[in-house]
Amino acid sequence: MIDFAAARRRMVDGQVRTNDVTDLRLQAAMLELPREKFVPGGKAELAYLDLDVPVTPDKGRRLLKPMVLAKLLQAAEIGENDHVLDVGCATGYAAALLGRLARSVVALEQDRALADFARQTLSALGAGNVTVVAGPLTEGWPAGAPYDVILLDGASEVPPEALCRQLKEGGRLVGVLGRSPAAKAMLYRAVAGHISGRPIFDAAAPVLPGFVAPPAFVF
């Protein structure tokens, strides 16, 4: 029988703190939240490994590895009064973390089975400030906009311009841009009606549905 509490401690000590994640609120949330509850299909033993954990039978959708997720959330500088959009919430782990850091969270998922799983798991854990909604990931969730923070819960091969337009003035969007080995974690900010982005660390993540770059035309 796996001691999941000990596994959480090893995850935070070995994967999070050692990668310059110093936000104590975030560390505490990761220590408390049972990540294993968000891994379906009898694969809970994978929950705390240093990898993108598959959460669908075809392994196309995955939870971001703990280090990448923690560094993205730290870079977003989430305040306790922030309103946050999680794009591609999958089974809801990142949304649950966000719910412990922010005032309110909209968790967007286009896979109905994943959305249902996330909704049930978040409800069971008492995440009352997280609302799971279903719709195309590329469209974001305009009904809840504008947002202080948007998490792209995976990678995009193209800059997420449509999502950035749902940010408040001063809002931040974090996510991974590109495919390995050239992918980078990015931080975008909305300032005076413009969006600026900069790379913040090397990272790789599964590309989310709808965020694949269109094929280039070849003569």
The full 3-state SS of the chain, as one line of letters, equals CCCHHHHHHHHHHHHHHHHCCCCHHHHHHHHHCCHHHHCCCCCHHHCCCCCCEECCCCCCCEECCHHHHHHHHHHHCCCCCCEEEEECCCCCHHHHHHHHHCCEEEEEECCHHHHHHHHHHHHHCCCCCEEEEECCHHHCCHHHCCEEEEEEEEEECCCCHHHHCCEEEEEEEEEEECCCCCCEEEEEEEECCEEEEEEEEECCCCECCCCCCCCCCCC
Q: What is the pLDDT of residue 5?
A: 96
Q: What is the pLDDT of residue 29?
A: 98
Q: What is the pLDDT of residue 75?
A: 98
Q: What is the pLDDT of residue 1?
A: 80
Q: What is the pLDDT of residue 217?
A: 53
Q: What is the pLDDT of residue 180?
A: 82
Q: Mean pLDDT of residues grouped by 10 in the chain (219 residues)?
A: 95 97 98 98 95 94 98 98 98 98 98 98 98 98 98 96 96 95 95 94 95 73
Q: What is the pLDDT of residue 69?
A: 98
Are the CB atoms for 118 and 132 separated by under 8 Å?
yes
* Domains along the sequence of the chain with CATH: 4-202 (3.40.50.150)
